[in-house]
Each structure stands twice: as structure tokens, then as C-alpha cells.
A and B are shown apart, each in its own frame.
Chain A
Amino acid sequence: MRRLVDNDYLTMVVRLAVGVTFIYASYYKILDPAGFAKSIWYYHLLPGGLINITAVILPWVELICGLGLIFGVLYRGAAVLTTTMTVIFTVALVSALARGIDIDCGCFKVARSSSETVLDSLLFDIVLLILLWQLLVSRSRRWMLSRW
């Protein structure tokens, strides 16, 4: 098991998969901050005054973390931050589900209609968390531009 988790090729594939996912997730949010702000607002979890600034900065954190994972720069920080963000998104989704708020999660595009259900998004987050666990525990450091 340990050998599998530390496998260089597996780790590289997971880095690419998670990195591309976060870059893709950031793309529409950077292009449409107003739409992303609305997605955040739907969750009713953040104070109103923090919504827009979060919508402006958070997509860039996703983009930088995605690039960091792929290129192996600021790697550890990127892996921990992506995991933290995914856990927070998952908790927010569960909280929305528990409160009966039927939202389009706004994960990969800004919310427009509920084409992407909360349950689909939850399932996706769980898969993402499994991949992130592999990145966090893997000792592979091959094909990285930086040692830290």
C-alpha cells in the first residue's frame, strides 16, 4: 500500500487531475466575480461584507494551488490549502442540504439553475478528497520544479 501511495506516476497523475480541476474551477469565477459572489451568497454562511472580497480572491487561491500542484511549486502549501478548501466546500454543501437550500453549488461555474445537484457535487467532493489524501501522504517528489 505504501509503495502504491508513493508511486511517482500515480502521484503525478493525481497532481495533474486535482490541479486541472482547481484551475478549471477558478476559470469561470475569475471571469465572472459577480456571479460567483451570488453563488457564495446562496449558501448564507458568510457575512454580507465578506462575500465580494471572497469572490475576488478565492478563485485566485484555487488557480495558484492548481498550478502549484501541477508544477510542484509551493507544493505542500497548495496540497493542504486545496484539501482545506474542499473540506470547507463539502461542509457548506452539507449545511445547504440540511437547511433545504436547493442550490447549484457554483463549483465549476457560477450558479444559474440547479442543473448540478448538491448530491452530485457532494459525490465529486468525496472523490476529490480521496485524491487529495493521496497527495498529502505520498512521499513522491519527482517532476517538481521546486523542493518546497
Chain B
Amino acid sequence: MLLRQFVIIILVAAVAGVGLNLVSPNRIDFIGKYRSLSSGDGPIVPPTAEPGDPPFISIEVAELEHSNYQVVFIDARDAGEFVCGTIPGSVNIPFEYLPEGDLRPYIDSVLGGLPGDYHFIIFCSGEECDLSLHLGRTMQELGYTNLSIFFGGWREWVQFGLDVERRESCDG
């Protein structure tokens, strides 16, 4: 009897879930395309990425670009995480603490007045973090035209043993 109840519950759930997903405006593909945890074999693209988002770059491209002086890395995490460790030379624009009002002058000032078509690479903690994606979209709306998102972020950078910059020593 217990097995029969399992089957009924799961069958009803499957019919309801699949049925709703066929007609819902929020429907998703039944088989998604996901990469496994950072392996460095390509860019990590979050499932919430949408057409028109800034391009996502891999750890190899991020490392290559980092050695190029014509790019600025933007750390979208909060200031506490930023000072504890970040990609060397990054600037901090904490997405969750953006000021109210017109953001363009604020971001311009953080970026030292660099032009809107300068290449900026945005990152945050890693795959569980959406801040880089949200900051990328916000900057796109503000007219920045040459953005990339390094979605592997801080965690992948550390996993690959690359140089880091620590402005304060922090526990953990």
C-alpha cells in the first residue's frame, strides 16, 4: 500500500509539474545544459544567463586578460570580502550596497573615469553568486559596452592557485 501511495504521489506530481511547465511563461527546458564544478575547460555560464548578457569567460581567459593592462577587474562582492582577498588590481563595486540614485557617476568615479567602452571583467564569489551577473546587467544598462563576466569568480581563481591580493588578514 505504501508503494502504491508513492507511485500515486510521484505520478500526480510529474503530470502536474510537466503539464504546468509546458504552458507556464516561466517554463524551462526539461533537460538543462550544465557544466560540472569548475574544471577550467570552458567558461561557467549560470542557468539564469539570458541572451544579451555580457559574455562569460573561462579561468584561462580571465588569467590571460589579467596579464593585459588594458582591462580592469571588478569585484562585485561586499567590501569585507574584498579586503580579505581578491584578484590583484581589482576595484570593488559591491552590488548589494550600490548607492541610491544615478549610478553612472558613482561607478565612473570608482573606475577612475575610464571610458564606457573600456574592457571590464566582473566577478564575485563563484558559481553560487549572482552578483557579477546583476552588476554586469546594471552596467550594461548604464551604457558600458565592453563587459565580460568571469563567473568562476574568486573561488575558481584560488582553486587554480593564481596570485591573490589581501589588503587585510582575515580569519577563515
* A104 CA to B34 CA, complexed, in Å: 19
Contact pick for B14, options A31, A57, A68, CB 8 Å: A57
* A124 CA to B86 CA, complexed, in Å: 33
User: Interface readout for B2-39 with A: 1 if CB under 8 Å, 0 if not?
Assistant: 10111011101110111011001011111111111100
Segment from B66-74, B106-114, B123-131 that makes contact with A:
B123-131
| Number of residues on chain A facing chain B (CB within 8 A) | 42
Whose C-beta in chain A lies nearest to the C-beta of B35?
A: A48
Whose C-beta in chain B lies nearest to the C-beta of A31?
A: B26
DSSP class of A's interface residues: helix, strand, loop or mixed? helix
* A49 CA to B27 CA, complexed, in Å: 16
Give min CB distance, B116 to chain A, whole Å: 28
* A48 CA to B127 CA, complexed, in Å: 14
Decide if B30 touches A41 in the complex (CB within 8 Å).
no
Contact pick for A56, options B28, B34, B96, CB 8 Å: B28
Q: Specify which chain A residues have a CB less than 8 angstroms from the CB of B30 in the assembled complex.
A: 52-53, 56
Decide: A59 near B28, CB < 8 A? Known: A48-B34, A65-B9, A103-B128: no
Decide if B47 touches A37 in the complex (CB within 8 Å).
yes
Decide if A34 touches B1 in the complex (CB within 8 Å).
no
Q: Specify which chain A residues have a CB less than 8 angstroms from the CB of B16 in the assembled complex.
A: 60, 64
* A59 CA to B12 CA, complexed, in Å: 12
Q: Specify which chain B residues have a CB less than 8 angstroms from the CB of A38 in the assembled complex.
A: 46-48
* A58 CA to B17 CA, complexed, in Å: 8
Give min CB distance, B44 to chain A, whole Å: 11
Decide: A48 near B26, CB < 8 A? Known: A38-B46, A80-B2: no
Give min CB distance, B119 to chain A, whole Å: 27
* A42 CA to B48 CA, complexed, in Å: 12
* A29 CA to B109 CA, complexed, in Å: 40
Give min CB distance, B56 to chain A, whole Å: 15
Interface residues of chain A, those whose CB is within 8 Å of chain B, are: 30-35, 37-38, 41-42, 44, 48-49, 51-53, 55-61, 63-65, 68, 74, 76-78, 80-81, 101-104, 111-114, 148
